[in-house]
Structure 1
Amino acid sequence: MDISNNSNISGAFASGLQGVQRGSEQITQASNDIANLNSEPAQGNSAGVNLTDSVVNLKTGALGVEASAKVLDVANDTLGTLLDTFA
Protein backbone atom coordinates (compact mmCIF):
# COMPACT_ATOMS: atom_id res chain seq x y z
CA MET A 1 0.00 0.00 0.00
CA ASP A 2 1.24 3.47 -0.88
CA ILE A 3 1.97 6.05 1.79
CA SER A 4 -0.28 8.51 -0.10
CA ASN A 5 -3.25 6.95 1.67
CA ASN A 6 -2.05 8.84 4.75
CA SER A 7 -3.16 12.10 3.16
CA ASN A 8 -6.57 10.60 2.39
CA ILE A 9 -7.02 9.59 6.01
CA SER A 10 -5.82 13.01 7.18
CA GLY A 11 -8.35 14.57 4.82
CA ALA A 12 -11.11 12.41 6.26
CA PHE A 13 -10.18 13.48 9.80
CA ALA A 14 -10.07 17.14 8.73
CA SER A 15 -13.39 16.88 6.92
CA GLY A 16 -15.05 15.15 9.85
CA LEU A 17 -13.74 17.71 12.33
CA GLN A 18 -14.83 20.60 10.12
CA GLY A 19 -18.31 19.08 9.83
CA VAL A 20 -18.59 18.72 13.60
CA GLN A 21 -17.52 22.34 14.06
CA ARG A 22 -19.98 23.66 11.46
CA GLY A 23 -22.82 21.61 12.92
CA SER A 24 -21.97 22.81 16.41
CA GLU A 25 -22.02 26.42 15.25
CA GLN A 26 -25.39 25.86 13.55
CA ILE A 27 -26.79 24.29 16.73
CA THR A 28 -25.50 27.19 18.82
CA GLN A 29 -27.02 29.79 16.49
CA ALA A 30 -30.37 28.01 16.28
CA SER A 31 -30.46 27.57 20.06
CA ASN A 32 -29.73 31.25 20.60
CA ASP A 33 -32.44 32.20 18.10
CA ILE A 34 -34.98 30.00 19.88
CA ALA A 35 -33.96 31.30 23.32
CA ASN A 36 -34.31 34.91 22.18
CA LEU A 37 -37.66 34.55 20.38
CA ASN A 38 -39.56 36.75 22.80
CA SER A 39 -36.91 39.44 23.08
CA GLU A 40 -36.66 42.57 20.98
CA PRO A 41 -35.29 42.01 17.47
CA ALA A 42 -31.64 42.99 17.15
CA GLN A 43 -30.83 46.16 15.28
CA GLY A 44 -30.67 45.45 11.58
CA ASN A 45 -32.74 42.28 12.00
CA SER A 46 -36.25 43.70 11.82
CA ALA A 47 -37.66 40.45 10.43
CA GLY A 48 -37.10 38.65 13.73
CA VAL A 49 -36.65 34.91 14.07
CA ASN A 50 -38.93 32.22 12.74
CA LEU A 51 -39.42 29.36 15.24
CA THR A 52 -39.95 26.76 12.51
CA ASP A 53 -36.74 27.72 10.70
CA SER A 54 -34.80 27.69 13.96
CA VAL A 55 -36.04 24.23 14.93
CA VAL A 56 -35.21 22.90 11.45
CA ASN A 57 -31.73 24.47 11.68
CA LEU A 58 -31.27 22.90 15.11
CA LYS A 59 -32.14 19.43 13.81
CA THR A 60 -30.05 19.91 10.64
CA GLY A 61 -27.05 20.89 12.73
CA ALA A 62 -27.51 17.86 14.97
CA LEU A 63 -27.71 15.52 11.97
CA GLY A 64 -24.62 17.15 10.48
CA VAL A 65 -22.67 16.56 13.69
CA GLU A 66 -23.85 12.94 13.79
CA ALA A 67 -22.81 12.33 10.17
CA SER A 68 -19.44 13.97 10.69
CA ALA A 69 -18.86 11.90 13.82
CA LYS A 70 -19.44 8.79 11.71
CA VAL A 71 -16.83 10.04 9.21
CA LEU A 72 -14.37 10.43 12.10
CA ASP A 73 -15.24 6.96 13.38
CA VAL A 74 -14.61 5.36 9.98
CA ALA A 75 -11.34 7.27 9.54
CA ASN A 76 -10.24 6.12 12.99
CA ASP A 77 -11.11 2.50 12.21
CA THR A 78 -9.29 2.72 8.88
CA LEU A 79 -6.19 4.14 10.53
CA GLY A 80 -6.32 1.39 13.14
CA THR A 81 -6.57 -1.26 10.44
CA LEU A 82 -3.63 0.24 8.57
CA LEU A 83 -1.53 0.31 11.72
CA ASP A 84 -2.43 -3.27 12.53
CA THR A 85 -1.61 -4.36 8.98
CA PHE A 86 1.63 -2.49 8.38
CA ALA A 87 3.11 -1.89 11.82
Structure 2
Amino acid sequence: MDSLSTLLGNKNFDEPPEMASIKKYVRDEFKVEVGVQVRDKDIVISVPNSALASTLRLRGPEIKRRCQLDKRLTFRIG
Protein backbone atom coordinates (compact mmCIF):
# COMPACT_ATOMS: atom_id res chain seq x y z
CA MET A 1 0.00 0.00 0.00
CA ASP A 2 1.33 3.44 -0.92
CA SER A 3 1.88 6.09 1.69
CA LEU A 4 0.03 9.37 1.64
CA SER A 5 3.17 11.32 0.73
CA THR A 6 3.76 9.03 -2.26
CA LEU A 7 0.20 9.49 -3.50
CA LEU A 8 0.29 13.26 -3.06
CA GLY A 9 3.75 13.48 -4.58
CA ASN A 10 2.48 11.98 -7.83
CA LYS A 11 -0.57 14.28 -8.06
CA ASN A 12 -0.48 17.33 -10.35
CA PHE A 13 -1.70 20.39 -8.40
CA ASP A 14 -1.32 22.87 -11.27
CA GLU A 15 -4.54 24.58 -12.31
CA PRO A 16 -5.77 23.95 -15.85
CA PRO A 17 -4.78 26.58 -18.44
CA GLU A 18 -8.46 27.44 -19.04
CA MET A 19 -8.85 28.35 -15.39
CA ALA A 20 -5.78 30.58 -15.35
CA SER A 21 -6.73 32.38 -18.58
CA ILE A 22 -10.29 33.14 -17.39
CA LYS A 23 -9.07 34.44 -14.03
CA LYS A 24 -6.49 36.63 -15.79
CA TYR A 25 -9.06 37.99 -18.25
CA VAL A 26 -11.52 39.00 -15.50
CA ARG A 27 -8.74 40.42 -13.31
CA ASP A 28 -7.36 42.52 -16.19
CA GLU A 29 -10.74 43.76 -17.45
CA PHE A 30 -12.69 44.25 -14.19
CA LYS A 31 -10.11 44.06 -11.36
CA VAL A 32 -12.19 41.42 -9.56
CA GLU A 33 -11.23 37.93 -8.41
CA VAL A 34 -13.54 35.12 -9.54
CA GLY A 35 -13.75 31.43 -8.87
CA VAL A 36 -13.45 29.02 -11.78
CA GLN A 37 -14.39 25.34 -11.84
CA VAL A 38 -13.59 23.26 -14.93
CA ARG A 39 -15.96 20.34 -15.48
CA ASP A 40 -16.37 17.79 -18.28
CA LYS A 41 -18.75 19.75 -20.51
CA ASP A 42 -18.67 23.27 -19.11
CA ILE A 43 -16.75 25.84 -17.10
CA VAL A 44 -18.43 27.43 -14.08
CA ILE A 45 -17.38 30.99 -13.25
CA SER A 46 -18.42 32.19 -9.77
CA VAL A 47 -18.77 35.96 -9.54
CA PRO A 48 -19.55 38.21 -6.56
CA ASN A 49 -22.55 40.09 -8.02
CA SER A 50 -25.23 39.92 -10.70
CA ALA A 51 -23.99 43.00 -12.58
CA LEU A 52 -20.66 41.33 -13.28
CA ALA A 53 -22.39 38.05 -14.17
CA SER A 54 -24.56 39.83 -16.76
CA THR A 55 -21.60 41.66 -18.25
CA LEU A 56 -19.55 38.48 -18.49
CA ARG A 57 -22.51 36.63 -19.98
CA LEU A 58 -22.71 39.24 -22.75
CA ARG A 59 -18.95 38.96 -23.30
CA GLY A 60 -19.10 35.16 -23.44
CA PRO A 61 -18.10 34.88 -27.12
CA GLU A 62 -15.17 37.25 -26.56
CA ILE A 63 -14.04 35.30 -23.49
CA LYS A 64 -14.19 32.03 -25.43
CA ARG A 65 -12.19 33.51 -28.29
CA ARG A 66 -9.52 35.24 -26.18
CA CYS A 67 -9.09 32.35 -23.75
CA GLN A 68 -9.32 29.72 -26.51
CA LEU A 69 -12.16 27.78 -24.89
CA ASP A 70 -14.40 25.17 -26.45
CA LYS A 71 -16.59 24.36 -23.44
CA ARG A 72 -19.86 26.05 -22.48
CA LEU A 73 -19.60 28.90 -19.94
CA THR A 74 -21.89 28.89 -16.90
CA PHE A 75 -22.03 31.82 -14.47
CA ARG A 76 -22.82 31.47 -10.78
CA ILE A 77 -23.54 34.43 -8.51
CA GLY A 78 -22.29 34.31 -4.94
Larger RCO (CA within 8 A; separation ≥ 6): 1
TM-score (norm 1): 0.25
Instruction: Decide which structure has greater helix share.
Output: 1
Instruction: Decide which structure has greater strand share.
Output: 2
User: Higher Cα Rg: structure 1 or 2?
Assistant: 1
